[in-house]
Amino acid sequence: MRTADFVAARLAEFGIEVHRGLAKTGVVGTLKAGSGNRAIGLRADMDALPLSEESDHPYRSDTPGKMHACGHDGHTAMLLGAAKYLAESRNFDGTVHFIFQPAEEGEGGAKVMIEEGLFERFPVEAVFGMHNMPGIPTGTFAMRKGPIMAAADFFFITVRGEGAHGAFPQLGIDPVPIAAEIVMALQTIVARNIDPGKPAVVTVTQIHAGHGTNIIPAEATLCGTTRSFDAAVQATIEKRMREIVVGIAKAHGAKGEITYERRYMPTINTAEETDLAAAAAIEVVGAENVNRNVPEVMGAEDFGWMLNERPGAYIFIGNGKGASLHNPRYDFNDEALALGASYWSRLVESILKAA
């Protein structure tokens, strides 16, 4: 809420119409210039991560257990910078909606904003997003047409056996080895059920079972994520996971249950809008500093939900060398701020050209 309050206050100071309430803490600023009826949306995410920052910077997080380990504070600052410039210059003809979205990190805030009427209340012909990327040199941009980030599905598996004394395993049904067998079998999905030419990932990230050294637990749970770009691949992964979980558990006399959540759609850029994004980036940093065919990333972005509703493009801005995203030593590179704000501004001025 504090960040939303800050964003809303800055937009109001710039003379931009402010709307609040979508996805609880979402903020949308609307700026009109000229007499044109075209409109585009620019989106920045606002949320932090549940990490304790490990740095000595004077600007490090002062909130225990929370830090901007993905650079969303930088994204917000860049879009606010563009909003200020565009409000002052008004060198465009039409409407810009500055979309400040909460809950990108694991909660799908974009989907919630859409379900609560984002594009009905703020209609746009196209929507654009941007994310910093460590490892890509500062002063450069990167993008691609088509899929750029993967779909992210989350799964939660429960194996229900029968508890017993650790010394008498024959009297129970031990869910631990069953869970271990499931973990190994899940890896065969990508290796043997998916076309090798189509990227996919199945990762178990958590296993929990038992509380004592001499007690066979009655239950084991597993959690994790899958990634894919293709809807058919996504469907195959889910189908095979269900078959493996239920089948292996049954073979051992246990019961296997799985909850499979399709949390994020793949982020798929449309061709025309990607060309527009590239042209704006080239004007800011030059053609030699714009990579128009960056490899797909298996990470996910809930901006994919917005691109499922409207044409658009999601691009990367270089963050230079340093710790990766979601790392407690991550540091947003402030040298990218002016470049990002300039990109946003140029994109608006080029798409909504003033008469």
CATH number of the domain at 82, please: 3.40.630.10
| Rounded Cα gap, residues 75 and 332, in angstroms | 9
| Rounded Cα gap, residues 100 and 317, in angstroms | 18
Domain boundary among 264, 292, 320: 264
| Rounded Cα gap, residues 73 and 78, in angstroms | 9
CATH number, domain of 210, equals 3.30.70.360
Burial of 133 (0-12, 13-18, 19+ CB in 10 A): buried
Do 15 and 110 belong to one domain?
A: yes
Q: Among 88-102, 214-228, 325-339, which is the least confidently predicted range?
A: 325-339
- Nearest residue to 46 (alpha-carbon basis) of 14, 15, 22: 22
Q: Is the pLDDT of residue 260 over 90?
A: yes
Under 8 Å between Cβ of 150 and 266: yes
pLDDT one-digit tens code per residue, 264-283: 889 999 999 999 999 999 99
| Rounded Cα gap, residues 344 and 21, in angstroms | 24
Strands (E) located in 34-169:
39-45, 94-101, 126-133, 141-142, 146-160, 164-165
Q: Is the pLDDT of residue 194 over 80?
A: yes
Kindly provide the b/e burial profile for residues 163-182, where b requires at least 16 CB atoms within 10 angstroms of the residue's own CB.
ebeeeeeeebbbbbebbebb
Domain boundary among 264, 288, 305: 264
Do 160 and 119 belong to one domain?
A: no
pLDDT for 199 equals 95
Q: Is the pLDDT of residue 134 over 80?
A: yes
Do 176 and 213 belong to one domain?
A: yes
Take residue 289 and report the two structure tokens written for it: 């500093």
Do 137 and 167 belong to one domain?
A: no
Q: Is the pLDDT of residue 106 over 80?
A: no
Residue 341 is given by DSSP the state: H
Kindly provide the b/e burial profile for residues 16-50, where b requires at least 16 CB atoms within 10 angstroms of the residue's own CB.
bebbeebbebbbbbbbbbbeeebbbbbbbbbbbbe
Do 6 and 121 belong to one domain?
A: yes
Do 312 and 347 belong to one domain?
A: yes
| Rounded Cα gap, residues 345 and 64, in angstroms | 35
Residue 231: which pLDDT band, with cuts at 50, 70 and 90?
confident
Q: Is the pLDDT of residue 263 over 90?
A: no
Q: Is the pLDDT of residue 355 over 70?
A: no
Do 248 and 289 belong to one domain?
A: no
Between the CA atoms of 36, 42, 46 and 47, what dihedral angle is there, to the nearest 10 degrees? Answer: 130
pLDDT one-digit tens code per residue, 301-320: 999 999 999 999 999 999 99
Domain boundary among 231, 264, 297: 264
pLDDT for 295 equals 95
Do 38 and 122 belong to one domain?
A: yes
What range defines the domain where residue 92 resides?
2-145+270-351
Q: Is the pLDDT of residue 108 over 80?
A: no
Average per-residue pLDDT for the chain:
95
Q: Among 105-114, 118-127, 335-344, which is the least confidently predicted range?
A: 105-114
Contact partners, residue 196, CB within 8 Å, separation at least 6:
none
Average pLDDT over residues 106-130: 94
How many domains is the chain built from?
2
pLDDT for 103 equals 80
| Rounded Cα gap, residues 73 and 95, in angstroms | 25
Do 137 and 62 belong to one domain?
A: yes
Do 22 and 140 belong to one domain?
A: yes
Do 60 and 156 belong to one domain?
A: no
Q: What single string gives the DSSP state of each residue in 141-181?
A: EE--SEEEEEEEEEEEEEEE-B-EETT-GGGSB-HHHHHHH
Do 126 and 15 belong to one domain?
A: yes
pLDDT one-digit tens code per residue, 34-69: 999 999 999 999 988 888 889 888 888 888 898 888
Contact partners, residue 30, CB within 8 Å, separation at least 6:
16, 17, 19, 95, 96, 97, 98, 122
Take residue 23 and report the two structure tokens written for it: 């996805």
DSSP bridge pairs for 101: 45
| Rounded Cα gap, residues 108 and 104, in angstroms | 5
CB 80: neighbour CB atoms within 10 A?
A: 23
Contact partners, residue 21, CB within 8 Å, separation at least 6:
none
Express as a percent the part of the chain with pLDDT over 70. 99
Q: Is the pLDDT of residue 255 over 70?
A: yes
pLDDT for 79 equals 98
